[in-house]
Amino acid sequence: MDDSLEARILKAAAKADANDLPDFPDDKSDLPSDYEYEPNDEEEEEIVEDITESELLKYLDQQQDPLQVAQRLFYHELNTLTAQKHEHDWKLKCIPNKCMEELYAKGWTQMDYLIDLDTLKGARHEADAWLQQGKFMPASRAKTSEEDPFRDTNARDDAIVWLDPAANDNPTNFQKVLDFFSGPLHADLASMIRLNGKTEYQLAYYHPDNARYECHRDALPTDDPDDTTQRRVTAILYLNPGFCNSEGGELKIHGHRSASGLEDSADRLIHPLLGRVVIFLSGVVDHEVCPAKKERFALTAWMR
């Protein structure tokens, strides 16, 4: 059986029912060509039915648990006694072993203090300067309707700027942050997960007038090690000093549901505090940004 992502998508898109096909004539030993085509008959118009991304994800999740699909991209099972006995061999540079185990077991994890405070504060000042200089553009207009006809332009209120670690005009502190993401953080993840493509970097700004991003998923679940189209890992760094619980802007991670539809974990709210890093499997975790009542910056890296 072909359980590849492409095969499962084709199954989801197959709307025709075999019962709708014409009956084969009982008195015909073979099907002549003129049975298939009558020149006087009007040609039946083919109906193409669109399927939304949420419908597709629901279908794929019913076929296979997305967490189990993504776990097959790991080089080793991490929730076994054998794996835990060999934790010292992982030799991770910055991600604690416990957090890597959480990423495997539940699809997401969070960490604090991976980057020094001076760099974080400096990066926030640089982000504020970019905002004043008009560097950001509304994310809803990042692609035209022709490029992405299924984009819901009302789903998000943030403004964004794309970044590149190899650019020669990055501010000092942001360059340090990008070097950390593309260096030790990526190295740790690539040592445990099959990564096979480029990484995208995006800085997002949420205005304090209840800017939000509706529930979504960053990729379709895949276990194909050769795939370069689907994002595999999402890593987010928050740049918000003094953020209080009453100021909103939390990252809401929706509880995981098994392929049978049973919920085996509750929703979680993560406050976007300065220096906090959240990592999750892109094709697994449904998440949203709750309405913000204070300016909110987040740097996201999507690793393929």
What confidence score (pLDDT) does residue 18 get? 46
Instruction: Let me know the angle formed at the C-alpha of 116 by 111 and 121, rounded to the nearest 5 degrees.
Output: 105
Instruction: Let me know the angle formed at the C-alpha of 192 by 186 and 193, rounded to the nearest 5 degrees.
Output: 75
What confidence score (pLDDT) does residue 4 get? 78
| pTM of the predicted protein model | 0.85
Count the residues in the chain. Answer: 304
**CA 240, CA 294: separation in Å to the nearest integer?**
9
**Least confident segment among 135-139, 153-157, 223-227:** 153-157
3-state secondary structure of 279: strand
Contacts 24+ apart (CB under 8 A), 7-12: 8/59, 8/60, 8/63, 8/64, 9/56, 9/60, 9/220, 11/59, 11/63, 12/51, 12/55, 12/56, 12/59, 12/60
Q: What is the pLDDT of residues 120-148, one digit of tens each?
A: 999 999 999 999 999 999 998 876 545 45
- Given a contact cutoff of 8 angstroms between Cβ atoms, the answer to whether 180 and 164 are in contact is no
Residue 246 has what DSSP assignment?
Answer: G
Q: What is the pLDDT of residues 182-209, one digit of tens each?
A: 999 999 999 999 999 899 999 999 999 9
User: How would residue 36 be classed by pLDDT, with cut points 50, 70 and 90?
Assistant: low
**CA 54, CA 59: separation in Å to the nearest integer?**
9
Percentage of the chain beyond pLDDT 70 is 81
What confidence score (pLDDT) does residue 25 get? 56
